[in-house]
């Protein structure tokens, strides 16, 4: 078996913290960092593991040492991480989308608009 030349090297990757293992009660016990290029790095147990378990779904940059594969997934011993802030434009867009979410209204809620539409249709018929 040939040794992977990347094992032991320092690596910094950007990704999202996603669960990879659960206990019998459904609690997340292990996480991976999923990168935009669809690579996954299983986070090895360390002092930071509990913190990362609390950051499910967060986008961050992690730096650590590459370890041997476990369960067919690359591993990383995280030494430090940095949460990435959402881009302000993305936040504004999300707020705007929430504001303009589709809502169902009955005609009774906007009677004046219904009357205006009827008048416009009558004018078109002439």
pLDDT digits (tens, 9 = 90+) for 7-40: 899 999 999 999 999 999 999 999 999 999 999 9
In this structure, what DSSP letter does residue 71 have?
T
pTM for the model = 0.64
Q: Report the 10 Å Cβ neighbour count for 59.
A: 16
Digit-coded pLDDT (tens) for 90-104: 665 666 666 666 555
Q: How far apart are CA 69 and CA 78, in angstroms?
A: 15
* Residue 76: Cβ within 10 Å count: 24
Compute CA distances 10 → 3, 66, 68, 78, 106, whole Å.
16, 6, 13, 10, 60
């Amino acid at each position: 078996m040939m040794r992977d030349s990347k094992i032991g090297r320092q690596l910094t990757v950007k990704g999202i913290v996603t669960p990879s293992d659960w206990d019998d009660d459904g609690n997340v016990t292990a996480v991976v960092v999923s990168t935009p290029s669809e690579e996954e790095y299983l986070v090895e147990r360390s002092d930071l593991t509990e913190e990362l378990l609390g950051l499910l779904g967060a986008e961050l940059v992690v730096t650590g040492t590459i370890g041997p594969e476990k369960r067919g997934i690359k591993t990383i011993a995280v030494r430090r991480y940095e949460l990435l802030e959402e881009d302000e434009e993305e936040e504004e867009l999300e707020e705007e989308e929430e504001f303009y979410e589709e809502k169902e209204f009955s005609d009774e809620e906007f009677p004046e608009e219904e009357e205006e539409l009827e008048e416009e249709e009558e004018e078109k018929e002439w």
